[in-house]
Amino acid sequence: MRLPVVTFAVGAVLLLGAAGAGGASTATPAAQHSIVVVGNGSVSAVPDRAQVSFGVVTDAKTASAALRANATEMAKVIAALKGQGIAAADIRTDLVSLTTRYSPNGDAVVGYEATNSVSTTLRKLDRVGPTIDVAVGAGANQVAGPNLVRADATGLYRSALRAAIANARAKARTIAGASGLHIRRITDVSETSAAPAPTPLAAKAGTDTSTPVEPGTTQVEATVTVTFSVG
């Protein structure tokens, strides 16, 4: 009859130990406060590169005739670009396509349209206008660009990121000061960026005046979301 008493006593000690451990783990840690802000930074620079695309569109009654005519005209455009001092390695084919043209009611094939486009990066902005004129004069009937960029865009973007972090820190200090808090440290950062879209430029008929291209100023921008711990 004594064995159950011993077993019960041991069980009671184990339960009390478990209860004590549970009580120790329920302590609530000090609340962590944070401020999340969006920082913006930008760097201004004058573009020193221009990306331009030249296309040729031709129509014919048959698919093969459309492609042959297109190849002939594009060969002239490429030769004209090379004549401007652009190396073959800097001329890249972007698109070759062939589409069917139908009658207005869509019940008959009336011809085919072939498209070919090439792009190049010009390293001297004063050559952009003359190069566009030469390409159009050689047969290009589509022009896209120029997309004006900087050769050192990566370095400029990093500078913009540093400016964005500084902007975020200034915002956080203002918010913390108004709230009676103090900035401690950065606990999280995320960044986003978007490259500027190329600016379309319609092809124009050749004239005595070269197509004007003004480089202006480009903005390299960066945006970051920063979390600061405060106390």
Sheet holding 49-60, edge to edge: 91-102, 109-122, 49-60, 142-149
Highest mean pLDDT among 38-52, 62-76, 183-197: 62-76
Q: Nearest to residue 50, comparing CAs of 222, 216, 220? A: 216
Task: Quick: pLDDT tens for 60-78.
Answer: 999 999 999 999 999 999 9
pLDDT higher than threshold 80 for residue 51: yes
Q: Which domains are seen in the chain, by residue range?
A: 31-48+150-231 (3.30.110.170), 49-149 (3.30.70.2970)
158 residue type, one letter: R
**Residue 49: pLDDT band with limits 50, 70, 90:** confident
Query: E strands, the chain, where?
Result: 33-45, 49-60, 91-102, 109-122, 142-149, 183-192, 218-230
Task: Quick: pLDDT tens for 86-115.
Answer: 888 889 999 999 999 999 888 899 999 999
The proportion of the chain whose per-residue pLDDT surpasses 90, expressed as a percent, equals: 45
pLDDT higher than threshold 50 for residue 223: yes
HEC sequence for 193-221:
CCCCCCCCCCCCCCCCCCCCCCCCCEEEE
**Residue 59: pLDDT band with limits 50, 70, 90:** very high
The predicted pLDDT at position 205 comes to: 38
The predicted pLDDT at position 47 comes to: 82
Q: Which residue has the tokens 């960044």?
A: 191
